[in-house]
Amino acid sequence: MPRTVSPALLPLLQHHLGGPILDSAPLSGGDINDVYRLNTGRGDFVVKASRRALPHLFFAEAQGLELLRDTKNLTVPEVLAYGDAPGGWQYLLLEHLSPVAETPQLQEALGRGLAALHRAPAPGFGDTADNYFGTLPQRNPPTSSAATFFWEARLWPQLRLAAEHLSGADVENFEALRHRLPSLIPVEIPSPVHGDLWHGNLLYTAAGPALIDPAAAYSHREVDLAAMKLFGGVDDRVFDAYAEAHPPAPGWQDRVNLWNLYPLLAHVNMFGSGYLDRTRAALNVCLNL
């Protein structure tokens, strides 16, 4: 990533901000998009920028942030602007959230806030605008059940993309899993979910626990709980506070591998076969539930 924001973006960003950008510096976490902290006379802001040919990329992210913000349970950065710029750039201009040290109090607040998010009203499974998981299109059609939505809108599209990486045995095992999904997934009402809630998309800030970079939809709440287990880094205190406020269905930890088949397959499709062994291991666990 370049060390400063592209000159092609500066006029638009300064228009939105109502004044000059004094300095810019890259922020960590920009594996998919370029991310910069902008210093201005009004304070600091964040811009995400991309030249990838992904239609409506930041429009979709802005919608996801607003979906999470509407529940008013956790801090979500305010969207200031998004759009296109010369040179094929897309951009998303956001409020900057000041990070603070992680504390037990903030961990518990995250658990309670996530529980409140998952109790917010949702019209049905799916039933939001299509968006992206990383760089991969993610469809969110209205669907009759969590199991149907998980297969048709999550696993099956990733399996088609991953065909060149999968063996015949892999395909057979996923087909066997498809038939078992209705009995494996506990019946619950749909919830707003972040959709990609690994620890890198959680922030502890001066305003409280915050969520960034969503792949938001209305889905089964265990999607978010499982994602926080995928790459570690989330303290048990978060899960304990969540369970006190909104107890998950019994056995939810046994289903972590089930829900994480989606991000694992997505990682195969974005980054290659290095994620296949972990995907196959998770699938084998699921087939023995």
Q: Which of 27, 38, 39, 83 is nearest to 212 (CA)?
A: 27
Q: Which of 31-35, 249-253, 257-261, 264-268 has the lowest mean pLDDT?
A: 31-35
Identify whether residues 69 and 180 lie together within a single domain.
no
| pLDDT score recorded for residue 112 | 97
| pLDDT score recorded for residue 81 | 97
Give the three-state DSSP class for 252. Answer: helix
User: Which percentage of the chain shows pLDDT scores above 70?
Assistant: 98
Choose between 32 and 183: higher pLDDT.
183
Answering whether pTM is above 0.85, one says yes
The domain boundary, picked from 60, 95, 130, lies at 95
Is 1 a member of any domain? no
- Residue 125: beta bridge partners? 143
Task: Examine the pLDDT at 207 and tell me if it is beyond 60.
Answer: yes
CATH at residue 115: 3.90.1200.10
> How many independent structural domains does the chain possess?
2
Q: What is the pLDDT of residues 51-107, one digit of tens each?
A: 988 999 999 999 999 999 877 889 999 999 999 999 999 999 999 999 999 999 999
Averaged pLDDT score across all residues of the chain: 95
User: Which percentage of the chain shows pLDDT scores above 90?
Assistant: 92
Identify whether residues 142 and 272 lie together within a single domain.
yes
| Cβ contact 64:216 at 8 Å | yes
Task: Examine the pLDDT at 285 and tell me if it is beyond 70.
Answer: yes
Identify whether residues 282 and 169 lie together within a single domain.
yes
Q: Which of 33-37, 180-184, 227-231 has the lowest mean pLDDT?
A: 33-37
d(CA 210, CA 74): 6
Identify whether residues 110 and 85 lie together within a single domain.
no
Task: Examine the pLDDT at 30 and tell me if it is beyond 60.
Answer: no
d(CA 36, CA 114): 27
| pLDDT score recorded for residue 72 | 80
Phi, psi (rounded to 5 degrees) for 34: -80, 135
Is 5 a member of any domain? no
CATH at residue 17: 3.30.200.20
Identify whether residues 157 and 60 lie together within a single domain.
no
Which amino acid is it at 172?
E
Match 């289903």 to its residue by tokens.
Answer: 255
| Residue 262 vs residues 17, 85, 146, 222: alpha-carbon distances, Å | 38, 33, 14, 13
82's enclosing H/E stretch is strand 79-85
Identify whether residues 174 and 269 lie together within a single domain.
yes
| Residues that are catalytic | 196
d(CA 284, CA 278): 10
Would you place residue 32 in the very low, low, confident or very high pLDDT band (cuts 50, 70, 90)? confident
Is 4 a member of any domain? no
Q: What is the pLDDT of residues 151-175, one digit of tens each?
A: 999 999 999 999 999 999 999 999 9
Average pLDDT over residues 238-245: 98
Task: Examine the pLDDT at 131 and tell me if it is beyond 80.
Answer: yes
* Cα-only R_g, the chain: 19
Match 């209705």 to its residue by tokens.
Answer: 182
Give the range of the structural domain holding residue 33, as residue numbers without chain letter.
10-95
Identify whether residues 138 and 82 lie together within a single domain.
no
